[in-house]
Chain A
Amino acid sequence: MSKGKSMVAAKKKGNAKSKAGKKAVSSTRNIKVDALARVEGEGALYVRVKDEVIEDIRFRIFEPPRFFEAFLQGRIYSEAPDITARICGICPVAYQMGASQAMEQALGIQVTGTLRDLRRLVYCGEWIESHVLHAAMLHAPDFLGLQDALQLAKDDPEIVETALRLKKLGNEILEVVGGRAAHPINLKVGGFYKAPRKESVRTLIEPLKWAIDAAIGVAKVFGTFEFPDYEDDYQCVSLRHPDEYAIHEGRIVSNRGLDIAVAEFPDHFKETHIAHSNALHGLMMDGSIYYTGPNARYNNNYAQLSKLAKSVAKDCGLGKKCNNLYQSILVRMVETVYACEEALRIVEAYEEPDASCVTVKPGAGIGAGCTEAPRGICLHRYELDKEGRIVSARIQAPTSQNQPQIESDLRGVVQGNLHLSDEDLKWRCEQTIRNYDPCISCATHFLNFTIDRE
């Protein structure tokens, strides 16, 4: 992919000049982050700089491999959603729904109407809890020069209280629709084990009305942050749906003209093993790197956001495109506002369906499913034998797809900020990684930080 000319590049020039006098002696700087904070899972970053040039940059994920794809083999189709949900405690719905949709395609059934609405509703719950947790508790402290959310709570208890309440509401949606606040137990191939009662769904109305205003308030506060000047010409890959801002269904599209059915994913995307990481690195077939996540969705599907979400975006300083991933914190809050609105719309219209699921008849087939996990597209593909047992499974989590793009951003950010002290540079790198809300546990298939300066 073409490397964007970031503002940072301009700074770098000036910086290189100012340091020119020091070049007589060769020096190496090593920057190391041994255990990355405020991300899900375990990872590390190593950077080696010689004579102001980056020689090596490695973003390592050392969560042990988890072999989900292997132990799904031989399992019956209906087990895949609950098994794969265990890949992540933050975005289990992404796995349950991607797996379900893949099975539904393999078995030739469609989930429509109220059941489809309920799926969108529970997914909105996951977006709310995941986005708010990341934006307010994990990412916001970076912009305030604070060590963590605890410092943030001391500085601004009100915003933390609001964030906690919003997150809780997201989990409550999971509970009402999915039967449990984490790792819901009510989602299955074909729909739900049991349709939620109308009265319990309606308990969400008042909290959701509060949540829309609360999320707007948080978005506006974050809009006042100062954002590092780093942009890239990202190859944005996301879902797109003709009728709605894509969350749980759609075709896979990019801002470079890609427009494919989910089942065609393996023809256009590949995964490669890298020696320094336990996560697979996702690439386009032509070897180019791509980005998936909130800003990709926003850039590709801005037109489909609600009027209110667009006005919130504008009020917090976003245009119709956003190629500064530090501002992903704003996009997450815009998406949170949208998810609250969508959830409210669905909740208000909800009538209990006649059947909680579509009848499924096991058989042979191949199917793919893809949803927009909070961190980006999450793909499942399964092949079933005639009894409906899994012959092969492939799961591509967003963080592994984003890993080459994260390294590319780190390269740009480090190169542009070599004038910073090791400590400040380390901070900036961690902040950069957190732009992606990486879910290392999911990708392992993550951060210690090392920079060597020579």
Chain B
Amino acid sequence: MSEASGVLVIGIGNRFRRDDGVGPVVAERLHEHGLDVVELGGDGTELMQAWENAGHVILVDAARSGAAAGTIHRFDANSTEVPTGLFHYSSHQFSVAEAIEMARVLGRLPPRMVVYGIEGKDFSYGEEFSPEVAQALDSVTQAILGEIENAAT
């Protein structure tokens, strides 16, 4: 964890399944701003391990809730339950939302945890984002940077 911010960014998804790759790409952009990032495929148990010693976690994943593509969802995981239907695009059904809720039950949620979901629409094979998701990249990156800055001050 970088000492400056004490923040760990976890980008979840598969870069070869189009919009599913948004989590890792946002994480990569945040890394360019000096943040510690981890890229994961979405296995819930692995996730819980990844944030084990982190104080402030920002998790970024593609969402599929039926909202318009490019919509940015934000949850404060410490105060709100993460809807289990939102991130079901995972090969393992023990996925992101389940991992967060399980960590809550087991008392293993980081002291601060915020989840960003970017609504995707195309999860087929390939590396190109759909235009709406590509367009959301800047705003989600800026929103996260802004949030971290506010937390630091």
Contact = CB atoms under 8 A, between A and B. Distances in A.
Interface in A433-453: 441
Contact of B94 (A149, A168, A181, A182): A149
Interface residues of A, number: 25
A149 B102 contact: yes
A40 B102 contact: no
A168 B105 CA distance: 19
B149 to A, nearest CB: 33
Contact of B92 (A40, A153, A161, A164): A40
Consensus secondary structure, chain A interface: helix
B101 interface: yes
Contacts of A37: 93
A39 B110 CA distance: 28
Nearest to A39: B93
A38 interface: yes
A138 interface: yes
B45 interface: yes
Contacts of B46: 181-182
Interface string A140-169: 000000001110011001001100100110
A157 B98 contact: no
Interface string B2-35: 0000000000000000000000000000000000
Contacts of A211: none
Interface in A76-92: 89
B49 A168 contact: yes
A168 B108 CA distance: 15
B105 A89 contact: no
Contacts of A153: 102, 105-106
B128 interface: no
Contact of B106 (A89, A161, A182): A161
B94 A138 contact: yes
A150 B45 contact: no
Contacts of B92: 40
A133 B102 contact: no
Interface string A327-365: 000000000000000000000000000000000000000
B45 A38 contact: no
A41 to B, nearest CB: 6
B124 to A, nearest CB: 10
A110 to B, nearest CB: 35
Interface string A42-86: 100000000000000000000010000000000000000000000
B101 A150 contact: yes
Interface centre among B49, B92, B101 (most CB of A within 10 A): B92
A133 B43 CA distance: 11
Contacts of B49: 168
A149 B48 CA distance: 14
What are the nearest 3 A-B pairs in CB distance? A153-B105, A37-B93, A153-B102
Contacts of A161: 106
Contact of A89 (B43, B48, B94, B98): B43
A432 B25 CA distance: 39
Interface in B84-115: 91-94, 98, 101-102, 105-106
Nearest to B43: A89
A153 B91 CA distance: 21
Contact of A137 (B41, B45, B101): B45
Given A157-B106, A161-B106, A137 B94 contact: yes
Contacts of A150: 98, 101-102, 105
A64 to B, nearest CB: 8
Contacts of A154: 105
Nearest to A155: B105
